[in-house]
């Protein structure tokens, strides 16, 4: 596992343990290299001093020409005066849609997080007791891990997100992981927004276990029930794909899905 | 022990009941017609190993190039499991109900 990946996991664990506040990376000279804001155990926003892309550029690119730089700068000033989060303000005014805003926030946050993960200095936690963020504009561990991956290979994450969404049924979770190689980690997910880091790791480790069981007979795919959950796993393009389902019919449903995915 | 089930044309190639505690095949039946499954023993012992490990799943479906494997730990006696191996082209709904039927038929 790379040091960069370790750094991202460290941040996600710290956020999960401490709930709401700011994780600041402090340089030896006392200056801040950047910070990650967290709310209710989820990542909201991150900023690093060394970051190239500015949030405003991402917002303008995602606004589909509904917003000029001048309008955006006015909004930034208004938010400073009113102490309001910029994203939520832009949403209220209809200047961006929620999906574009989430994409811009996630990309900016993941870029900052990677920058900060590569810094060699101490983390400091500052508790926050103010009003919370709009939960739909905060990010789960699965969002952050796949967002970090998308910075390296955006086409792969986009392609797999599209494939997963086309294959899963309502109420199912699914993700794609690379166990080794340069793309190691979570590539894409759908339906895993409510999972904490430990729960996500538990599911991934079960899925890997099932994949290993199938390898005993050279299986192209496998479905199994562990406890209350049914898992379908298969290898595709060198990556491990997983769908998880949870009701009485989950096993037979996943069997049908697997057979249609691997004809 | 090898004993064909009273089934004229089974949808499976191999059906068996295995003991997970003792790691042995208790009963088995092969289809009378159609291709015979090569290396039946290794398939059955792989299933036993898979199901007897700690935290093992209680129902498993494996899809290979030519075959599908279905394993189910008995809900009444977790030391027993039913194994069914069938051609990949089999009707899956039928196989799942056949798994339950074979489990009942082989029940001690």
Q: What is the pLDDT of residue A175?
A: 98
The pLDDT score that the predictor gives to residue A263 is 73
A146-159 tens-digit pLDDT = 999 999 899 999 99
Residue from A119, A102, A146 nearest A48 by CA: A119
* A69-78, B4-13, B65-74: least confident range: B4-13
pLDDT tier at A128, thresholds 50, 70, 90: confident
Does residue B35 register a pLDDT over 70? no
In the prediction, which pLDDT does A197 show? 92
Confidence grade of residue A75 (pLDDT, cut at 50, 70, 90): very high
Give this complex's ipTM.
0.89
Of A113, A140, A127, A177, whose CA–CA distance to A21 is shortest?
A127
Question: Please, which pLDDT band fits residue A108 given cuts at 50, 70 and 90?
Answer: very high
* Least confident span in A42-46, B8-12, B85-89: B8-12
Tokens of A5: 């990946």
Nearest CB to A217 within list B43, B59, B92: B43
The arithmetic mean of pLDDT across residues A90-116, rounded, is 92
Cβ–Cβ < 8 Å for A42, A15 = yes
Is it the case that residue A113 has pLDDT exceeding 70? yes
* Extended beta strands in A179-258, E state: 185-190, 221-226, 229-236, 239-245
Q: Which site among B40, B54, B57 would you substitute to test the A interface, given the most A Cβ atoms closer than 10 Å to its Cβ?
A: B57
pLDDT digits (tens, 9 = 90+) for A157-187: 999 999 999 999 999 999 999 987 767 889 9
Q: What is the pLDDT of residue B39?
A: 84
Question: How confident is the model at residue A130, as a pLDDT?
Answer: 66
pTM: predicted TM-score of the whole model, two decimal places? 0.89
Is the Cβ pair B64, A256 closer than 8 Å?
no
Q: Look at B61 and A224 and tell me if their CB atoms are within 8 Å.
A: yes
Q: What is the pLDDT of residue A164?
A: 96
Identify the three-state secondary structure at position B39: coil
At CB < 8 Å, which residues of chain B contact A?
A: 43, 46, 49-50, 55, 57-65, 69, 92-93, 96
The percentage of chain B sitting over the pLDDT mark of 70, rounded to a whole number, equals: 90
From B103's Cα to the closest Cα of chain A, the distance in A is: 17
Give tens-digit pLDDT for A30-71.
889 999 999 888 999 999 998 876 888 888 888 877 889 999
Class of residue A239 by CB neighbours under 10 A (exposed 0-12, middle 13-18, buried 19+)? middle
Is residue A249 less than 8 Å (CB to CB) from chain B?
no
What is the C-alpha to C-alpha distance for residues A183 and B40, in angstroms, rounded to an integer? 39
| Mean pLDDT across chain A | 90
Reply yes or no on whether the pLDDT at B65 is more than 70: yes
Question: Could you tell me which residue, B9 or A206, shows the higher pLDDT?
Answer: A206
Q: Cβ contact (<8 Å) for A224 and B60? A: yes
Residues in chain A within 8 Å Cβ distance of B69: 217, 219
């Amino acid at each position: 596992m790379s040091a960069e990946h370790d750094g991202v996991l460290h941040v996600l664990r710290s956020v999960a343990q401490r709930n709401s506040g700011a994780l600041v990376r402090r340089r030896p000279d006392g200056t801040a290299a950047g910070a990650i804001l967290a709310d209710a155990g989820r990542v909201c926003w991150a900023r690093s001093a060394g970051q190239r892309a500015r949030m405003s550029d991402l917002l303008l690119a995602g606004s589909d020409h509904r917003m000029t730089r001048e309008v955006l700068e006015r909004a930034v000033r208004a938010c400073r005066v009113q102490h309001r989060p910029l994203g939520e303000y832009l949403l209220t005014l209809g200047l961006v849609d929620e999906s574009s805003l989430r994409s811009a926030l996630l990309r900016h946050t993941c870029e900052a997080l990677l920058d900060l993960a590569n810094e060699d200095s101490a983390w400091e936690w500052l508790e926050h007791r103010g009003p919370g963020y709009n939960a739909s504009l905060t990010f789960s561990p699965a969002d952050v891990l796949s967002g970090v991956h998308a910075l390296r290979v955006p086409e792969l994450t986009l392609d797999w997100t599209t494939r997963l969404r086309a294959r899963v049924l309502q109420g199912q979770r699914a993700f794609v992981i690379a166990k080794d190689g340069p793309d190691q980690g979570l590539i894409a997910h759908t339906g895993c927004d409510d999972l904490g880091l430990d729960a996500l790791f538990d599911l991934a480790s079960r899925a890997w276990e099932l994949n290993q069981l199938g390898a005993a007979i050279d299986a192209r795919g496998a479905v199994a029930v562990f406890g209350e959950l049914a898992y379908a796993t298969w290898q595709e393009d060198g990556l491990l794909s997983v769908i998880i389902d949870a009701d009485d019919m989950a096993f037979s449903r996943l069997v049908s899905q697997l057979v249609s995915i691997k004809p | 022990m090898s004993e064909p089930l009273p089934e004229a044309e089974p949808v499976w190639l191999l059906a068996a009941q295995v003991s997970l505690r003792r790691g042995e095949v208790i009963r088995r039946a092969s289809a009378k017609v159609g291709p015979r499954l090569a290396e039946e023993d290794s398939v059955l012992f792989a299933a036993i190993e898979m199901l007897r490990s700690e935290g093992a799943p209680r129902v498993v479906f494996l899809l290979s190039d030519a075959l599908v494997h279905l394993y189910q730990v008995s809900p009444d006696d977790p030391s027993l499991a039913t194994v069914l191996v069938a051609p990949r082209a089999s009707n899956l709904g039928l196989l799942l109900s056949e798994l339950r039927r074979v489990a009942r038929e082989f029940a001690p």
